[in-house]
Amino acid sequence: MSFLMKNPKCLKRTQVEVRSLIGKKGFLKEYDVQNLTYLKAVIKETFRLQPIAPLLLPRETLQKCKIGGNEVPAKSFVYVNAWEIGRDPQAWENPEEFCPERFIGSRIDYKGQHFELIPFDAGRRICPGMHIGATTVELALANLLYKFNWEMPSGINEKDRDFDVLSGLTTHKKNDLTLVARKVDDYLL
């Protein structure tokens, strides 16, 4: 929600997509999510900029190798920095910018096949809960955007918004995100 609140055009576009798909039926089924192209792009972009775990599980080098010009001895533990990979200017145009459109028409996904986007890790160490985690995020976000209009509390203006994050074992907001949810009447949907 932080990135959507910071980017109202993206929020509006996502809500229009979700509300158009759900329509009057009033709920979203798991199979509906495959048709929410922009919502999926928003989630991918969020995972790119703010991966769940900034440092992935450590790997052990099998032999001496070079990483980024540095010689790494055999049997060394190395960490993959998913946070930095998501902001790599060699992999991403305008890497610090929240731009879900970069994923529209792109085959890049977070399922471990594209190493520029690995919020759930890759290979044998890929998160076993990836599918349920991603599906939960998709369904929860879609339903929140379908039923509610979102805004900042009154008295909070643009410069007061704090979207800073702290990194640890997982990434999380430095300060709580407080929003006002206004339920949309069913007859308006």
Task: Enumerate the known binding-site residues.
Answer: 127
Kindly report the pTM of this predicted structure: 0.87
Establish if 76 belongs to a structural domain. no
User: Stretch 8-35: mean pLDDT, rounded?
Assistant: 90
Task: Enumerate the known binding-site residues for heme.
Answer: 127
Judged against a pLDDT cut of 90, whether residue 156 lies above it is answered with no
Establish if 71 belongs to a structural domain. no
Q: What is the DSSP string of the chain?
A: -HHHHH-HHHHHHHHHHHHHHHGGG----GGGGGG-HHHHHHHHHHHHHS-SSSB---EE-SS-EEETTEEE-TT-EE--BHHHHTT-TTTSSSTTS--GGGGTT----SSSS-TT--TT--GGGS-TTHHHHHHHHHHHHHHHHHHEEEEPPTT--GGG----EEESSSEEESS----EEEEPPGGG-
Residues 6+ positions from 68 with CB-CB distance below 8 Å: none
For residue 21, give its domain range.
Answer: 2-55+82-188
User: Stretch 90-98: mean pLDDT, rounded?
Assistant: 95
Residue 24 dihedral angles phi and psi, to the nearest 5°: -80, -10
Establish if 64 belongs to a structural domain. no
Judged against a pLDDT cut of 70, whether residue 152 lies above it is answered with yes
Establish if 181 belongs to a structural domain. yes
Establish if 68 belongs to a structural domain. no
Establish if 62 belongs to a structural domain. no
- Tens digit of pLDDT for each residue in 56-88? 888 899 999 998 899 999 999 998 889 999 999
- Tens digit of pLDDT for each residue in 104-151? 999 988 887 788 888 888 888 788 989 999 999 999 999 999 999 999
Number of structural domains the chain divides into:
1
Q: Which residues pair with 67 in a beta bridge?
A: 70
Establish if 120 belongs to a structural domain. yes
Q: What percent of the chain has pLDDT over 70?
A: 92
Please give the C-alpha separations between residue 82 and each of 9, 35, 140, in angstroms, as whole numbers. 27, 28, 24
Is-contact 137 144, C-beta < 8 A? no
- Whichever domain contains 91, its CATH number is 1.10.630.10
